[in-house]
Chains A and B, each alone.
Chain A
Amino acid sequence: MNPVVMELTVRGLLGRRRSLLLVVLPLLLLGLAALTRWASEGSINASSGLIGNFGMGTLLPLMCLLIGTGVIGPEIDDGSIVYLLAKPVPRRSILLAKLAVALATTVIFAVLPIVASTAIAGDEDLRLSSAYGLAALLAGFAYTTIFVALSVLTRNAVIVGLLYALLWESVLGGYVPGVRNVSVRQWALAPAEEMLGFRASGWGVSSAVTMPVGLSLLAVVVIGATWWGIAKLKTLRLAAAD
């Protein structure tokens, strides 16, 4: 990992206008959590419903999309990545540095707000917050890694990522049985379900896969996407003007 690349990536990610969304979306979740608490008087089921559906299903993939495509996509689009690539720095270090920034940003702007929102909306000894925190951390890492790799692979990463996040993960992944088995969200919920034990079903935390399967598939996706991103960056073709 290269500290200069990390520094430039942080400045690039937080210096753009769309970084405002990184603050607005978590604030929205926190606002909804407060509203849920007020409306349901701290019901854990209501809290789990909000975080499980909106937090994990919509907000998390969207935040990871913003972050994952934001750390490298704009530089590839406008060609400024050439200043990083035309250096005697292994492409692997460049991608890993960008991924590290993306993952840290995911934790700060997506995972922690999900934990806080769960605690605000309704919890019991922070059990639900911890479970959703773990699920958000695992899913967040997987989503962000996928979107970083996607940004290196295609100039249409935002559109492809949006279709994947909203259609596959959020809509189909929530309801269609076959799709549920191959959904990052379901894989990440498996350890959360395990963590909650007998309380899981009562609080509405359930996964379509078992914990070993979920964790294995998450590891495969994270390692695979990272490897893929590095391989693609090594042969990244910079658009020539003519």
Chain B
Amino acid sequence: MSTIVLDRVSRWYGNVVAVNDVSMTIAPGITGLLGPNGAGKSTLIAMMGGFLAPSTGTVALDGGAVWRNPAIYRAVGLVPEAEAMYDMITGWQFLLANARLHGLPDAPAAARRALETVDMVDASDRPIATYSKGMKQRVKMATALVHDPAVLLLDEPFNGMDPRQRLHLMDLLRRLASEGRTVLFSSHILEEVEQIADTIEVLVAGRHAASGDYRRIRRLMTERPHQYTVSSTDDRCLAAAIIAAGAADGVSVAGGSIAVQTSDFGRFTHALPRLAQESGVRLLEVDPADESLESVFAYLVAR
């Protein structure tokens, strides 16, 4: 059982602050590091993996420093976001090289086991250059698992995977976590994170915006009123019908569209088509105005 502790960690590049005063503890189980692109997730993972020194603060694995300490890689497996590998060799040769670099007593057996875990045995005699993005992702995963590490750090591991591979990896991560490993993965897709993570750490613009059980974070998000922009063939008529039916908390008509605010997402989306039909109005466009992950994060930060 291993734990990573970040204590008031900041990292800046010149005048740009990538990570700002973040403290968190990554304990055994699956932790999802969630944040929009550019939030500083990769920078944070690079610091946890010992590839970047914090500008201030400390990152420790089981009490020991990770920066300039290659010994941590006996306990840490890393899946980098970068796709590049040693393209000229086969998957098998690459895994074997990784096992040998770890100094494992039976490197071929470890390499085979890792390839089996990610279901890449059949394609392992092909050069890596011929692999699809999803296959490369699985080989990257195998290299992180080859030495049976207690900690796994995965930077956007679901990128480029098809739905089947995604489910397979989710099952694998669940299994690894159930064996007592500490698994941290980053993603900018909320659904990915909430499907498997026990704990979510939310990062926005380098700051630690929320932390804890995903259900609690999700509830915080749903408390917030939803906003929609609707345009139709008769905005005034439709707006009146929405208000009369009590399908929304607030409606305003301006600039050729209706701005709707509702705290009950389900009630509004079910009522809208019916109201439009009853009023003889054609809906031209229905746009959630603040459903992007960024706005959800902004809401969390504002709280």
Contact = CB atoms under 8 A, between A and B. Distances in A.
Contacts of A40: none
A12 interface: yes
Interface stretch (B46-54, B110-118, B168-176, B255-263): B46-54
Interface in A143-187: none
A82 B71 contact: no
Given A11-B88, A88-B73, A88-B102, A237 B51 contact: yes
Nearest to A236: B51
B78 A4 contact: no
A16 B87 CA distance: 10
Given A4-B97, A238-B46, A242-B40, A88 B78 contact: no
A84 B103 CA distance: 13
Contacts of A5: 101
A2 B39 contact: no
A53 interface: no
A7 interface: yes
Contacts of A86: 49, 51, 73, 76, 78
A114 B4 CA distance: 55
Contacts of A91: 70
B38 interface: yes
B37 interface: yes
B89 interface: yes
Given A2-B101, A237-B51, A242-B41, A89 B70 contact: yes
Interface in A192-233: none
Given A87-B73, A88-B74, A240-B45, 4 more contacts: A16-B88, A83-B101, A87-B98, A241-B82
5 contacts: A83-B101, A88-B102, A237-B52, A241-B82, A242-B40
